[in-house]
Amino acid sequence: MLSVSAFDPLARSMGPMLKEESFHLGTGNNGLLRIVKAGKMPPEVIQRFFYKWIPTAFDLFGTDASSSAHWAYVWGLKGRYDERESSGEPDKAKLNEYARGLYRQEIVKLIERLNMFIPPALRRGRPAARRREIRGLPRVGVAPPAGHRGGARHRERAGLDRGEEGGQPAAVSKPLVIAHRGASAYEYENSLAAFRAAQPRGADGVELDIHATKDGMLFVHHDEAINHTHITRSTAKQVGALHLPNGEPIPTLDEALAAIPAPLQVFVEVKSLPQQFDGVLYAALDKGAKGRYAVHSFDHRIVSRLGFARPKMARGILIAHYPVRPLEELEDTGAHTLWEDQSLIDAGLVDAIHTAECRLFGWTANEAEDIKRLVELGVDGICTNFPDVARAIVDEAA
Alpha carbons 254 and 67: distance in angstroms, whole number: 42
Q: What is the DSSP letter of 77?
A: I
In a domain, 145, yes or no: no
In a domain, 141, yes or no: no
Question: Based on the domain organization, do 169 and 263 belong to the same domain?
Answer: yes
Q: What is the DSSP letter of 51?
A: I
Question: Based on the domain organization, do 166 and 103 belong to the same domain?
Answer: no
CATH number of the domain where residue 285 is located? 3.20.20.190
Four-point Cα dihedral 103, 104, 107, 108, nearest 10: -150
In a domain, 10, yes or no: yes
Question: Based on the domain organization, do 102 and 202 belong to the same domain?
Answer: no
Question: Based on the domain organization, do 207 and 324 belong to the same domain?
Answer: yes
What integer pLDDT is reported at residue 148 of this predicted model?
A: 31
Query: Which amino acid is located at 248 in the chain?
Result: E
Contact of 385 with 184, CB cutoff 8 Å: yes
Three-state secondary structure call for residue 304: helix
Helical packing angle, 347-355 and 326-333, nearest 10°: 40
Question: Based on the domain organization, do 246 and 388 belong to the same domain?
Answer: yes
In a domain, 390, yes or no: yes
Last residue of a domain, one of 92, 125, 158: 125
In a domain, 133, yes or no: no
Three-state secondary structure call for residue 202: coil
Question: Based on the domain organization, do 213 and 258 belong to the same domain?
Answer: yes
In a domain, 284, yes or no: yes
Question: Based on the domain organization, do 118 and 165 belong to the same domain?
Answer: no
Model confidence pLDDT, tens digit, residues 225-273: 999 999 999 999 999 999 999 999 999 999 999 999 999 999 999 999 9
Helical packing angle, 16-23 and 31-38, nearest 10°: 130
pTM, rounded to two decimals: 0.61
What mean pLDDT, rounded, does the chain reach? 75
Query: Which amino acid is located at 92 in the chain?
Result: K
Domain count across the chain: 2
Model confidence pLDDT, tens digit, residues 14-25: 444 444 444 444
Q: If you average pLDDT over residues 191-205, what whole number do you get?
A: 98
Question: Based on the domain organization, do 188 and 71 belong to the same domain?
Answer: no
Q: Using pLDDT thresholds of 50, 70 and 90, give the confidence band for residue 58.
A: low
Question: Based on the domain organization, do 109 and 183 belong to the same domain?
Answer: no
In a domain, 134, yes or no: no
332 versus 202: the higher-pLDDT residue is 202
Per the structure, the complete domain to which residue 106 belongs is given by: 2-125
